[in-house]
Structure 1
Amino acid sequence: MPRFAANLSLMFNEVPFLDRFAAARAAGFTAVEFLFPYEHPAAEIRSRLDGEGLELVLFNAPPGDWNNGERGTSALPGRRAEFRENFPRALDYATALGCPRLHVMAGMAPAGVAPETLLAGFAANLDWAADRCAAAGVLPVIEPINHRDMPGYVLNTTDQGAAIIAALGADRVGLQFDLYHCQITEGDLCRQVEKHLPVIAHMQVADVPARHEPGTGEVNWPFVFERIDALGYRGWIGCEYRPAGGTVDGLGWFSPYRA
């Protein structure tokens, strides 16, 4: 049966961030993910995880200046030193929180730089990060993001991500396969999962087109989840969606999968 993790950056926004751990557990989740932990001491987050018996399965490495539109620095020319200076902070949090996966965002493509140059720089920084992650028992993951929601993001397709992983080694870097982004960019979800399953380390879900909970859009999610399970995927599926209304009110889709 598929295993779902609540994304606490998008779900349970009815309460402050540190109170969302209890809200997720009360709703039946046994695992969580979120975008960034850095506004809170790792010890405080660890206390919430332990107090609710929750597993943390994913968060993002520092993305640069998020509030001014940056979405990662690891693929950006001239930002290598900055990326490598900031990355150890993410590893410190991952170690303290017992988180096994760390999303490394590529960044927004600067004008006039060839895509091949950006992807090569991304791979070089991932190679560096993978060595540090391995020593900490953490797997770095990369996520193709659609150009409708994030125009100009460096990494767009599952094939691009899979090619980088093939070059660096699937034991060193994994694919963060977001079904929402894939449906917008490529479609054919079940075949894409089957094709890339050997390198998929984490999945995420939201319905299309509005990025709300499963059952609010165009995708036949019971069929997709059944197929993912039949293919043998045993990792987590993060619920990275924006609830259409109240978070708990929209969890009807989750009932068959509740712990």
Structure 2
Amino acid sequence: MPRFAANLSMMFTEVPFTERFAAAAEAGFQAVEFLFPYGFAASEIKAKLSRHDLTLALFNTSAGVVPDGADGARYRATFINNLRYAADRFAAHDKRILIEALSPGVKPGYLFSSQYQALGIAEEVDRPNVFIQLDTFHAQKVDGNLSHLIREYAGRYAHVQIASLPDRHEPDDGEINYPWLFRLFDDVGYRGWIGCEYQPRNTTQDGLGWFNAWR
């Protein structure tokens, strides 16, 4: 049975960020994720999570963009060295690092766009706490054949994100058959969170029919 995390940077934007924790819990979510929380004190976020009995599934660091004309290989080598440095320090706290491929249309100039590039980087980093984050929206845009990615690389991804394609709305329309993929994730033994990184068509609450069907 899939476990869903509300993305508080994209969902429940009808209220200020610090009020979205309560909104997500009231809607039935048991976990949340968000993009860049750095404008808020960690203690404040921790208090919100505790108050509403929510798990923090994931949060983002700044994306690495390679400037036009720059040496991409040099940037890649720096990224790999930085990942090793961070992974070794995170391991002491039993924390994982995830890397995510972003499609060029969403993040031009980003260091890598394909899931296979992300997998190659994770292999080269060679740390047991470094995984990929499988965002099916980006993966379908760049690589396609999601069922192959999900089956072949089970155990290599530690977090999943979803949205409809091409509009990046609720996962109940478009070219990706999410009910089928959710069952496939179960079949391959994925037990991590599935982050709802989509932009609601209307209000967040109005678009949660798909979520309620899986509760």
SS of equivalent residue, structure 1 residue 46: helix
Amino acid in structure 2 at the alignment position of 1:7: N
> Aligned in 2, Cα 1:200/1:170: closer, same or farther, shift over 3 Å?
farther
Normalized per residue, the structure richer in helix is 1
Counterpart of 1:171 (choices 106, 109, 128) is 128
**Cα distance in 2, alignment partners of residues 193 and 240 from structure 1:** 18
Per the normalisation by structure 1, the TM-score is 0.80
Q: 1:234 to 1:170 in 2, by over 3 A?
A: farther
Task: Give 1:146-185 correspondences, 5 Å limit.
Answer: 146-169=103-126, 171-185=128-142
CA RMSD of aligned residues (A): 1.2
Structure 1 regions of 5+ residues with no counterpart? 64-71, 73-106
- Taking structure 2 as the reference length, the TM-score comes to 0.96
Aligned mates of 1:168, 1:186 — CA distance in 2: 22
Aligned to 2:188: 231
AA aligned to 1:44 is E
Instruction: Determine if the alignment matches structure 1 residue 141 to structure 2 residue 92.
Output: no
The question of whether the paired residues in 1 share the 8 Å contact of 2:87 and 2:127 is answered with no
Which residue identity lines up with residue 115 of structure 2 in the other structure? T
Q: How much does 1:164 deviate?
A: 1.4
Q: Per-residue CA shift, 1:142-181, capped at 9, x if unaligned?
A: 0000011112111111111111111223513110110000
- Provide the residue aligned with 1:24 in structure 2: 24
Please name the residue that 2:159 is paired with. 202
SS of match in other structure, 1:116 = helix
**Bigger relative contact order, structure 1 or 2 (CA pairs below 8 A, ≥6 apart):** 2
Deviations 1:15-47 (A, max 9, x none): 111110110011110000001221111121111
AA in 2 matched with 1:182 = A
SS of structure 1 residue aligned to 2:213: helix
Distance 2:9 2:113 in 1: 22
Tell whether the 8 Å contact from 2:11 to 2:199 is kept in structure 1 after alignment: yes
Secondary structure of 1:198's match? coil
Pair 1:40-2:40 in alignment: yes
Structure 1 residue 48 displacement after superposition: 1.1
8 Å CA contact retained: 1:213, 1:241: yes
Aligned to 2:87: 130
What is the alpha-carbon distance in structure 2 between the residues aligned to residue 186 and residue 202 of structure 1? 18
What is the rounded CA distance, in whole Å, between the counterparts of 1:229 and 1:112 in structure 2?
43
Query: What secondary structure is seen at the aligned counterpart in 1 of 2:132?
Result: strand
Distance 2:106 2:121 in 1: 23
Identity of aligned residues (%): 47
User: Which residue of structure 2 lines up, in the alignment, with residue 242 of structure 1?
Assistant: 199
Residue 170 (structure 2) aligns with: 213
Alignment of 1:100-111 (within 5 A): 107-111=64-68
Contact 1:49 1:55 in 2 (8 A): yes
SS in 1 for 2:67: coil
Distance 2:150 2:76 in 1: 23
- Could you tell me which residue of structure 1 aligns to residue 146 of structure 2? 189
Tell me, yes or no, if the aligned pair for 2:35 and 2:59 is still in contact at 8 Å: yes
- Confirm or deny: 8 A CA contact 1:170 1:199 kept in the other structure: no
Q: Which moved more, 1:21-30 or 1:168-177?
A: 168-177
Secondary structure at the aligned position of 1:227 is classed as helix
